[in-house]
Amino acid sequence: MHTKNEEELLALGERLGHLLQKDDVLILTGELGAGKTTFTKGLAKGLDIRQMIKSPTYTIVREYEGRLPLYHLDVYRIEGDADSIDLDEFLFGGGVTVIEWGHLLGEDLPDSYLELEILKEADGRCLQFIAHGSRAEQLIKELQDGV
């Protein structure tokens, strides 16, 4: 998929946010400034979260309350060292878990998750969704059907 500007990326995030259910996990990949946190802001809106989403780069984890709890993680600073956080607390916390740089977690990743790679283009972004497991496949299908 492609988004032409920040507003479109936010809108896509919001649309995915509407589709998400308890225990869904999303991994966000893409260089610094690609739009991982921006996408999460849209996603939070789709989860009816009213609080302002701030980057978890320095805090590693931020939690929000909405239609479902949102656990927003950025594991870049801990270099994906899952032992330094209680990952299960979030993955099995009854909410939605979004992990920026989540691929760094390697084998500590759950079996089932949706991966989104964001690539910078001149003004817009190229988005590639990759399904890991059947739930993620279903989410991609629902997202495409909604276009």
The reply on whether position 55 binds Mg ion by CB under 5 A is yes
Interface positions, 113-142, toward ligand ADP (CB under 6 A): 123-125
Q: Give the single-character DSSP code of 84.
A: G
Between 76 and 115, how does the x/- string for binding to ligand ADP read (CB under 6 A)? ------------------------x---------------
Place of tokens 């809106």: 45
Q: 93: how many CB neighbours lie within 10 A of its CB? A: 16
Q: Chain centroid to CA 76: how far?
A: 14
In the list 29, 36, 70, 115, the residue contacting ligand ADP (rule: CB under 6 A) is: 36
CA gap 99, 132 in Å, rounded:
15
CA gap 39, 106 in Å, rounded:
22
In the list 29, 36, 47, 101, the residue contacting Mg ion (rule: CB under 5 A) is: 36
The reply on whether position 38 binds Mg ion by CB under 5 A is no
Smallest distance, Å, CB 134 to ligand ADP?
28
The reply on whether position 40 binds Mg ion by CB under 5 A is no
CB 24 within 8 A of CB 135: yes
Q: Which among 117, 90, 92 is positioned nearest to 103, based on CA atoms? A: 117
Strands 96-100 and 25-29: parallel
146 binds, among ligand ADP, Mg ion, none (CB under 5 to 8 A by kind): none
Residues that bind ligand ADP (rule: CB under 6 A) add up to a total of 16
The smaller minimum CB distance to ligand ADP, of residues 45 and 125, is found at: 125
Positions that interact with ligand ADP (CB under 6 A) = 5-6, 9, 30, 32-38, 55, 100, 123-125
